[in-house]
Homo-oligomer: A and B are copies of this chain.
Amino acid sequence: MKGFKFYERILGAFHDHPTVSKLVVLSSVSGGGLLAFSDNNQSQNLISDSAQGECKKKKVVVLGTGWAGTSFLKNLKSSSYDVHIVSPRNYFAFTPLLPNVTNGTVEARSIVEPIRSIVRKKNFKVEFKEAECYKIDPVKKKIHCRSRHAKNLGGNDEFTMDYDLLVVAMGACSNTFNTPGVLEYAYFLKEVEDAQKIRRSIIDCYERASLPNISEEEKKRIMHFVVVGGGPTGVEYAADLHDYAVEDLAQLYPSLKDHLRITLIEAGDHILNMFDARITEFATEKFCRDGIDVKTGSIVTKVSEKDISTKDRKTGQTGSVPYGMVLWSTGIATRPVIREFMKQIGQGNRRVLATDEWLRVEGCDDIYALGDCATIIQRSIMEDVVAIFSKADKNNTGVLDLQDFKEVVDHICERYPQVNIYLQKKKLKNFDDLLKGAQGNDKKKIDIEMFKQALSEVDSQMKNLPATAQVAAQQGAYLANCFNRMEQCEKRPEGPLRFRGAGRHRFHPFRYKHLGQFAPLGGEQAAAQLPGDWISIGHSTQWLWYSVYASKLVSWRTRILVISDWFRRFIFGRDSSKI
C-alpha cells in the first residue's frame, strides 16, 4: 500500500495545485532522448476586470478558429479590446497532420486544441460562441449567426452580433469545379471529421471485400482507392494510405493483398507542380516503385456511385475507373457566405475576397480578412506612378535627379514589394540601377515618361500568396501585432509614405516569409522545398518533418500527444478498428 500512497500524493499535488507549473519529464523510446518541459499557465481568467471600462473597449469579432483566427488570438496581447470569437468548431485543428489521422497514426484528439484552453490563458476577457456566421452586414456592422444543435437543445438557432472591428478568417471550402457527383460520393480532407470518415470508409472497403459472395471483379473495384488531385494533400494521402495498406492492413487482410490498387489522378502534367522539378520527379518515381498508379493529364468529368469518368486533357479520350473510395483534393473555393459578402461590397466580379497589404478588406475600413478566405491585392506600381513621381518631385520641377529618390526609395520598395523581386531577377543592385538603365546611363535627370518606362515591367513580378497554413498563421500573427500596437501607431505611424495621400501608413504592410514546404512521400521519406530553393529529399527529411511539425504544434499538450502517438505507431502499428 506504500506504493499507492506515493501515487496518491503525486496525484494530490496535481489536483491541489492545478495552476502551478507542472514539470514533466518523459524519457521516451527515442534512444533515451530526454524531453523536459514546463507548462506555465500563470495567467488566469480575469473576467472580473471586464466590467470597468467595457464601454470604452472596441468590440473585435473574430470569425473562424483555423490557422489565421487562432494565430490572431494567440498573438493578441492588448487588453484594450472586447474580443469575441465565433466559429462552428470549438477547437483548432493542426491540419497538416490530417492525413495521419486518416490511417490512425495520430489520434484525432491529439491534433486539436480547444479554443477555450487558449482563451483561458489570456489575461483579458475573450468570449467564444460555437456558431456559424452566415451573413456579414458591413453597413449595420452586424454579423448574423446560426448555431446547430440537437433538437432537444433548441435545434438550429439564430442570433446577431454587432462589432467595431471584424476579423474574417473563415477559410475556404473544397473546390469541386462543379463536377457532378463529387459532393455525393467523394470524400474531402479538410476537417477532422473528414479524416475520421475516410478512415472508416477504408476499413469498410476491406471488410466488405472480405465478405462471401463478392465477385472477383467487385472485390477489385472495392479495393481500388482513388485520389483526385496531385497537390501536397493528395500526394501525402496516397502515400500514407499505401503505407497503411502495405505495412498494416496487408497483415490483417492477407487475402486482399493482391486486390489493392491506389490511383492518383492529376489534371496537370505533373504531380506536386508547385514544387521543384527534382521533387516531382522523385515523388513520381517513388510512387511508381510503390505501385501507386499516377495518371497525369487526366480530368475527372463525373463521379458516379461506382465509377469515375475521366477525360484525357490532350487526346480527349474518355475513360471510366471503377472505385471503392475516392478522395477529392483539387484545391479550394470561396465559401458562400464570403461570396455573398463580396457582392454586397462591390467585389462581386472577383474570385476571392480582396484585401490591401494591411489585410483590410477593400472598401471596408473595419473589416479585416486573412487566411484562405481572402487574398492580398498587391498594389500595382504603374497605377501610382504619377503620384510617386510627384511625391518625389518636391519642388514640382517636372524632372528628378537620383538625389530626389533617396528620400522615397525605401518607401517605394516597401509599398511595392514587386520592385525588389524585379531587381533580384534582373540582377540589379538597387533602385538607382533600375533608373540608370532607363536613362541610358548618362543623363542625370529623368522625367515622368522615363520613370514610367523604367518601372513598366516591375508589376509582372506581383504574386499571389499560396493558400497555405503558413501564410494564414503569419497573417494572424501580423494582424494581432497591428492590433496590439494600434493606439501607438495611430499616434506615430511607422508604415511607408502614402503616395496618393498625406502622411504615412499606420503599419508596415504584411510581408510573407516563406519557411519552406514539405511533401511527405510515405515509407518514412519526405521531400522539402526550403527557402532559397534548397531541396531536401529522403529519410532525413522525414525526420526533419517530424521535428518541424512537432515544434509547430499549437501547445505542449498537442505536442506531447502527437509525439507519443508517433511512438505508439512505431511500436504497435496502426489500428484497424472501425472507430
List the interface of chain A (C-beta within 8 A of B).
Answer: 1, 4, 6-8, 10-11, 14-15, 18, 22, 24-31, 45, 47, 89-91, 104, 107-109, 112-114, 116-117, 119-120, 127-131, 147, 149-154, 157, 159, 161, 185, 192-193, 201, 203-205, 207-208, 210-214, 218, 222, 247, 251-255, 305-306, 324, 524, 539-540, 543, 557, 560-561, 564, 568, 570-573, 575-579
Least Cβ distance of A340 to chain B in Å? Answer: 23
Flag if B147 contacts A543 (CB, 8 Å).
Answer: no
Least Cβ distance of A322 to chain B in Å? Answer: 10
Contacts of A253 in B (CB 8 A): 116
Flag if B113 contacts A577 (CB, 8 Å).
Answer: yes
**Docked pose: A201 CA to B108 CA in angstroms:** 18
**Docked pose: A381 CA to B557 CA in angstroms:** 62
Flag if B579 contacts A306 (CB, 8 Å).
Answer: no
Known: A47-B255, A130-B207. 17 other contacts (CB 8 A): A7-B543, A8-B539, A24-B29, A27-B27, A47-B254, A107-B109, A112-B575, A128-B210, A130-B208, A130-B578, A154-B208, A154-B214, A154-B218, A157-B208, A192-B579, A193-B579, A557-B572
**Within the complex, which residue of B159, B564, B573 is in contact with A568, where a contact is CB–CB below 8 Å?**
B564
CB-CB under 8 A for A161 and B31, given A8-B539, A116-B252, A305-B151: no
Flag if B29 contacts A25 (CB, 8 Å).
Answer: yes
Among residues of B, the one whose C-beta sits closest to the C-beta of A201 is B150
CB-CB under 8 A for A6 and B31, given A114-B252, A152-B305, A159-B213: yes
Flag if A149 contacts B306 (CB, 8 Å).
Answer: no
**Within the complex, which residue of B27, B108, B568, B577 is in contact with A90, where a contact is CB–CB below 8 Å?**
B577
Flag if A222 contacts B4 (CB, 8 Å).
Answer: no
Among residues of B, the one whose C-beta sits closest to the C-beta of A303 is B152
How many copies are assembled?
Answer: 2
**Docked pose: A568 CA to B564 CA in angstroms:** 10
Least Cβ distance of A3 to chain B in Å? Answer: 8
Least Cβ distance of A299 to chain B in Å? Answer: 21
Flag if A570 contacts B14 (CB, 8 Å).
Answer: yes
Flag if B24 contacts A129 (CB, 8 Å).
Answer: no
Least Cβ distance of A93 to chain B in Å? Answer: 8
Flag if B153 contacts A577 (CB, 8 Å).
Answer: no
CB-CB under 8 A for A4 and B539, given A114-B576, A192-B579, A568-B561: yes
Q: List 7 A–B pairs whose Cβ atoms lie within 8 Å, in order of A's numbering.
A: A1-B540, A8-B524, A90-B578, A117-B576, A119-B252, A129-B211, A154-B214
Among residues of B, the one whose C-beta sits closest to the C-beta of A541 is B4
Among residues of B, the one whose C-beta sits closest to the C-beta of A205 is B153
**Within the complex, which residue of B130, B149, B324, B575 is in contact with A109, where a contact is CB–CB below 8 Å?**
B575
**Docked pose: A473 CA to B560 CA in angstroms:** 35
Flag if A576 contacts B116 (CB, 8 Å).
Answer: yes
CB-CB under 8 A for A211 and B131, given A1-B540, A45-B254: yes
Flag if A571 contacts B24 (CB, 8 Å).
Answer: yes
**Docked pose: A10 CA to B566 CA in angstroms:** 14
**Docked pose: A513 CA to B577 CA in angstroms:** 31
Least Cβ distance of A173 to chain B in Å? Answer: 20
Instruction: Identify the interface centre among A26, A45, A201: most chain B CB within 10 Å of its CB.
Output: A26
**Docked pose: A113 CA to B127 CA in angstroms:** 40
CB-CB under 8 A for A568 and B560, given A90-B207, A210-B128, A543-B7: yes
**Within the complex, which residue of B153, B210, B211, B575 is in contact with A114, where a contact is CB–CB below 8 Å?**
B575
Contacts of A213 in B (CB 8 A): 157, 159
Among residues of B, the one whose C-beta sits closest to the C-beta of A107 is B107
Instruction: Identify the interface centre among A26, A89, A104, A152: most chain B CB within 10 Å of its CB.
Output: A152
CB-CB under 8 A for A577 and B112, given A24-B29, A159-B212, A210-B129: yes
**Docked pose: A31 CA to B10 CA in angstroms:** 9
**Docked pose: A222 CA to B112 CA in angstroms:** 25
Among residues of B, the one whose C-beta sits closest to the C-beta of A117 is B252
**Within the complex, which residue of B10, B149, B540 is in contact with A4, where a contact is CB–CB below 8 Å?**
B540
Contacts of A6 in B (CB 8 A): 31
Contacts of A24 in B (CB 8 A): 29, 571
Contacts of A557 in B (CB 8 A): 572
CB-CB under 8 A for A149 and B208, given A7-B543, A112-B579, A577-B114: yes
Among residues of B, the one whose C-beta sits closest to the C-beta of A112 is B577
Least Cβ distance of A212 to chain B in Å? Answer: 5
Flag if B11 contacts A570 (CB, 8 Å).
Answer: yes
Among residues of B, the one whose C-beta sits closest to the C-beta of A252 is B116
Contacts of A212 in B (CB 8 A): 129, 159, 161
**Docked pose: A255 CA to B127 CA in angstroms:** 11
Contacts of A26 in B (CB 8 A): 28-29
Among residues of B, the one whose C-beta sits closest to the C-beta of A577 is B91
Among residues of B, the one whose C-beta sits closest to the C-beta of A571 is B24
Flag if A147 contacts B211 (CB, 8 Å).
Answer: yes
Least Cβ distance of A314 to chain B in Å? Answer: 30
Flag if A152 contacts B306 (CB, 8 Å).
Answer: yes
Contacts of A108 in B (CB 8 A): 579
Least Cβ distance of A255 to chain B in Å? Answer: 8
Flag if A208 contacts B45 (CB, 8 Å).
Answer: no
Least Cβ distance of A568 to chain B in Å? Answer: 7
